[in-house]
Amino acid sequence: MKKTTVLLLALTLTAFTAPRFVQAQTSYHGTKISPAGAISTTELTKRLSATDTLVTKVQGTVESVCQAKGCWMKVKLDDGQTMRVTFKDYGFFVPKDITGKTVVFEGKAFQKVTPVKDLKHFAEDAGKSKDEIARITKPEKAIGFEADGVVVK
């Protein structure tokens, strides 16, 4: 009886104290897409040097997300810049806590100039201070992306 009780107690303690391996959750937003076949942000930059617009699928790392609604995200580019990714027809949002996560998104990449007014609005959405917003005085030339769907890994 004692051996059975001790064994049962040991098994119970092991079940509650053993390390648990949590599998990362993949989430889909907008049109459900497959991550297969995505190009890197480096490849995107190269391909956009030859054209103004490109329909493609890209994989990258999230640098920041709109903290108001999750209505845009910035993805890191290899040159230290970021690319703003918006969502087609404002039809879906991404979680606000995905900074640092890998994402795959499919849609239309393009080269654009963002006016100061819009840059200030985006900075406000991102929770920047009034001083940081006031320092925005020039339009920004950058790569933009309108995604039909996003996979968060």
Report the CATH number that the domain containing residue 86 is assigned in CATH.
2.40.50
Residue 83 lies in a domain: yes
Task: Give me the pLDDT at residue 13, please.
Answer: 47
Q: What share of the chain is helix, strand, coil (3-state, %, to 5)?
A: 25, 35, 35
Task: Give me the pLDDT at residue 85, please.
Answer: 97
Helix (H, G, I), strand (E, B) or coil at 122: helix
What is the extent of the structural domain holding 112?
26-152
Residue 2 lies in a domain: no
Residue 15 lies in a domain: no
Residue 138 lies in a domain: yes
Q: Which of 134, 98, 43 is nearest to 85 (CA)?
A: 98
Contact 145, 108 (CB under 8 A): yes
pTM: 0.71
Task: Give me the pLDDT at residue 1, please.
Answer: 53
